[in-house]
Each structure stands twice: as structure tokens, then as C-alpha cells.
Structure 1
Amino acid sequence: MDRVLVRLIAATSFLALSLLPALSEPKHGIAMQGEPALPADYTHFDYVNPDAPKGGSVTYCVVGSFDNLNPFILKSLRTTARGMIDTVYGNLVFEPLMQRNYNEPFSLYGLLADSADMDPDRKSIEFHLDPNAKWSDGQPVTPEDVLFTYDVFKDKGRPPYSDRMSMIARLEKTGDHSVKFTFNEKANREFPLIVALTPIIPKHAFDKETFDKTSLKPLIGSGPYTVDKVQPGQRIVFKRNPNYWGKDIPSKRGFDNFNQITIEYFLNANAKTEAFKKGICALDDETDPVKRDRDIDFPAFRKGDVKQEYFNTGIPPVVTGFLFNTRLPKFSNPVVRRALGMLYDFEWANKNLFAGKFNRTMSFWQ
């Protein structure tokens, strides 16, 4: 009888063990669909020169002003200095857990976190921080920094950062270098990647009580640059951190090559264009083809010091046109909006105002 009972217990224990979910291995990258294209032993992104020389300086020019260096707060949202976190000029000061590879539709690779363990159903994800990750003051990046980031964003941050805790059921430290996010029913399949792209801030360098106040004091981040000079509303200068912790990791190899990056501010587009003509700005962008052709005739261009280049981006066109405020009663009827669209003489406007250089899109979502 005892022998049978022992066998029954052993069989039951084996069945219980066999029903446990298989433990997955942390991966070097995650993707929105399928698997990341690059293997675990990749050395750099395909579109980057890993041996690009370091040095020199570059000046970018923008229209506007700034009175704040903290990009995560609601106050001065539209007047925060460019470059702190920036889709155009780069995340110079603050970094996310993982880095996007723009050669793929939506794949992320290790940055502050060198690997991630994502549940197949995307109900949770565990990030394993790179033990070498450091803030610009030399202190290590820790799980406590990740926990603090989400805590302070929830209470003091601006959208969309302030909304992300509403989709997280639990956020916990799971090891000396790891944190785990468990999601609730509000989260979708993309949300683990959104979490991976959320910038992380240092707990020791911020005071939660005053976090939502604007500041022009240079902030500590983990990124490749530090703030060197600030002239409010006019200029911000970043210098490359020679001790940047991530300069040799694959997702950052070949990036961050200038020793100095300056962003100059101008009150309007005309002033910015004139500054470009004088050699202050490294590049100029202009979406109006007539204005571009008119402004391109200046001495530096005729001497060959300025180059004009056309290229096909391969992405859907950006819509330029009129948008109706459908909250107003006069625009609420779709038949009225359709009639106004039919009244607009695109062919005449294109010929007489834009030198025939535009093509009409078929919809806002072409």
C-alpha cells in the first residue's frame, strides 16, 4: 500500500512539473512581429559605418525657443530644449532600455538592458540591465532607477509617459540587474515594446517633489552627450562624453560621432534660412518647392559649398492640406466637407502657386 502511494505521489509530482511553463531564455532583441532580423552576435546596425571617425562639430537650426531642459514634464512641453530626447537629433542625454533598428519595421535591440525575456502572450517582460550601464556621473544604472522612473512619471510626468503605469499591474525588481513588468487587461501586444522605448532617468539625480518644475540646470543622463552650455531661448551645446558607457555595444557602434552638437534657435523660418545661407546651420529643410528653388540661389551654393540633393524616401507622403474641426457644427456633416473638398481647385493651385510640383494624394492615409 505504501509503495503504491509513493508511486502515486511521484506520478502526481511529475505531472505537476510537466505542466509548468517552460522557462524562456532572455533574448538580445524583440520584435513587434516575428523575430528580430539581426542575430545575437550582430556587431552593428546595417546602415551604420562602425568605423566612422569621431571628432568635429555640427550645428543644427530650429524655429522656436526653449526655457526648460526636462523633457518629461507638462510645463514648458513645447519649449523644452531639443536634443535631450529627440527623434530627429538623437537621444543625446537620456536613453531607453532598448534601441530601435530603423532597418526593420519595429524591432528593438539591447541598450540599457542588454536582453529581455518576453512572455509569448506578451503579458509580461523582464529586462536584464547591462552591468556596465552608467550615468554620466559614473554611477551605475540600477533596477531602482527603472522603478523610480515609472513612479515619478505616473505622479509628475507628462503624457504619454504619465499614462503608462495604468497598463502595468506590477513592476518589480527581480535581481541585482533585472526588472519585470507584468501588464493588465488594458495593455496590448505593442505595449512591451513601448515600455522598452521609454527613457530611464537616474533616481539619485532627481527630486520627486520638484520634478514637475522647469529647470535650465544640466541634467544627468546615461546618453552619449552631456549638456555643455545653455543660452536660454537661443542656443544649447552638447559635448560628447568620452566615458560614455555604451560606445562599444552593437546597437550604438558607429553613432554619436561629433564631439560637439549645437542647436541654434530662430524666431521664424526666414531667419533660419538666412542663417543657413551664412554658414551657421549645417543643413536646411524646406517643404515648399517654390520657396526652396527661390532661396537656393545664393553665393555659397554657386561656389559649391552647399549641395542640394533630392532622394526618394520610400515612405508614404506627408499630407499637406486643410483639416476640418468636426467639433464645429458647420463642419460636422460629412457631405459639407466633401463638397468643400470638391470646390478646392487643386490643379489651379498647383500650377499657379507651387509650379506644378505637387501630386494630389488620394486620402489622408495614402
Structure 2
Amino acid sequence: MIKMNRIILTVSALVKDNLRNRFVIFWVIVFPVLLTLLFSLVFGGFSTYFHVMVVVQGNENLAKFLNTTDIFQGITNVSLTYAMKHNYIYLKVNGTTFIIYASKQNQQFIPTLEAIVREYYQQDVNNNLHFNVAKITNYTYYDYLISGMIGIVSLSNGVLGIIGVSAGYYRDRLVERLAASPLRSYEWVISLIIYVIIITIISTITVIILGIIFNFIPIISLSFIGFIILSTLLFGGLGAIIYGLTPKDKIFLSEIISNILIFPLMFLSNAFFPSNVYPQYIREFVQYQPLSDIITVIRDFTIYGTLPSMSTILIIVILTIIFIYTGGKLLKLREID
């Protein structure tokens, strides 16, 4: 039977002990702030560095012509909703009338797009073209970046939170003292999970406060908060598995493995840039790896206020259950409980 008072006392001790640790403070607060500021300042207008995606409805040859430019990449067969959620420009062609749907960030490219369209049509209809522009969102790169950072927070705090505390307590022989107490292994696991959820919420609040400075006003809902907890559970379970499988006489390996795992997942994801800017040979991995899926759901909640793909949510729930169950079995206070 679960003793809630033991769990509450353990969680309280974990929070007090670790939030006094400068290393923990760095990963929970300083690291996400520095990373967000770095990418905000360096890539604040990131669309100018890459081809801008333009969805063309009504003229496939125009889309192909856009691909010959150094600025735009034309695609077809994509809905306006999908274009909006991926910050594409949407160009609807109806004879000599063109409706351009673009986000606030992409408004700067509209004059250039109009000029290229006129160039394409000039031999057929001269310049008797009519353009109407509609701003579909107030989307900016800062929205994209900061919502991505929220996903990274759940990854780093989930994996490193579990491994950092477990490995530190093992080296300091505090686990032996806990093993001598009435605390059961599953109560220890529950306490660790609650702890990483708490530090993830602290980190998320810090990133959102920073985001407000860049005019990022997220849509906060119970669904969003619940998903942050779910994603933290997923990565926390993964951290428990890594720690549980690591030989205790080589416990430092768990921290090395976690860093080897986290940084490729972080930088080969859609956290900082959309998947289409990556080389073709890794594009599929970037688009569908777990962190990218989680960030996509976070953006659906915080930026667009739409329901995410239920199939994606189901996959994340299944993976979370598997990781938490397996990690809970591996993360023991004592050999026999």
C-alpha cells in the first residue's frame, strides 16, 4: 500500500536538496534561458537563411518555377490549415487573381513573391495581375523557438533529473540510508517522478516568462499542462531505464549515455528549425523522432489552440506507459523489496 506521507516527505527532501545545488539550478533555469536567448538573438529572423516554403493552389507549374529561385520552394497538395501550422506562405491562384496567405513573419517576402509571379506570367498576361494579401497568424520565429524549448525542457529534466538525482544519491551513499528506511522502491520511483515534474514546471514557467519578452503569449490550457506532465513522464521513464541498466560500479556511464542521447535528440529535432531545412537523408528522423512529435503537440496547444493528432497522442501515451513501467522495475532501492 502506498504511503503518501512517505512520498510527500521524500519529494520535499528532493526539491529542497537539489534546488540548492548550483548544477541543478543551471540545468533547470540557466540552461533553457541561455539556449533560448542564443537562438533568439542569432536566428531571430531565421526565414532569411532558408528557402521559404510556398504552397501553390491552382498552378503546379508555378510551384515548379518557384523552385528555380534562390528564395522560395514551391509545393502543392497542402491544405491552408497545414500551411498555417508550419508557417508556409499559401498562394491561391484563380486566373489572374492571387490571394496570398502569410504569417506576420513572412510578410517581408510578399513583394519578392509577387515580383517572381509577375515574371512567370509576363509573357502570357503581361502585368494584369491582382494580388490580395491576408495575414493568417501573428506567428514569429520566437513562437517557434520558445514552444520548442518547452519540449526540450521536458526531455532534459525528465532524463537528467532522474539520472542526476539517482546517480548523485548513489555516490553519496544516500541510497543506502533510504534502503534502510521503510520507503519502498515504488514509493522512491513515484517521488522521483513527482520531483522531475516539479522542476519541469519551474523550467517551463521560466521559459514562458522569457518568451513574453519576445511577445510570445502562449495559449495555456489544462490539456497543455497535462501534456507537459505526460512528456516528462515519458522521458523520466527513459532516464530510469538508462540508470537501471547501468552497472552500479560504473554509475558514471548513465550520465554519459544520457548526454549522448539528449544532445542529438535536441539538435536533430524541430525545436529550432523545421525539418525541411535539414539534409534529405536525416529529414525523416528529424520529423518523426519522439522529441519532434512532442514539440509538434506543444505547438498545437500553445500557438494554434488546436487539438493535436490523436494517433500521435496515443503513441506517446503507450511509450510513456512502457517506459514508466520498465523504468520502475529497474530503478530499485534494494535488491529485494
Q: Which category describes the TM-score, using the shorter chain as reference length?
A: under 0.3
Asked which structure has the greater CA Rg, the reply is: 1
TM-score (norm 1): 0.23
TM-score (norm 2): 0.24
Higher strand share: 1
Higher helix share: 2
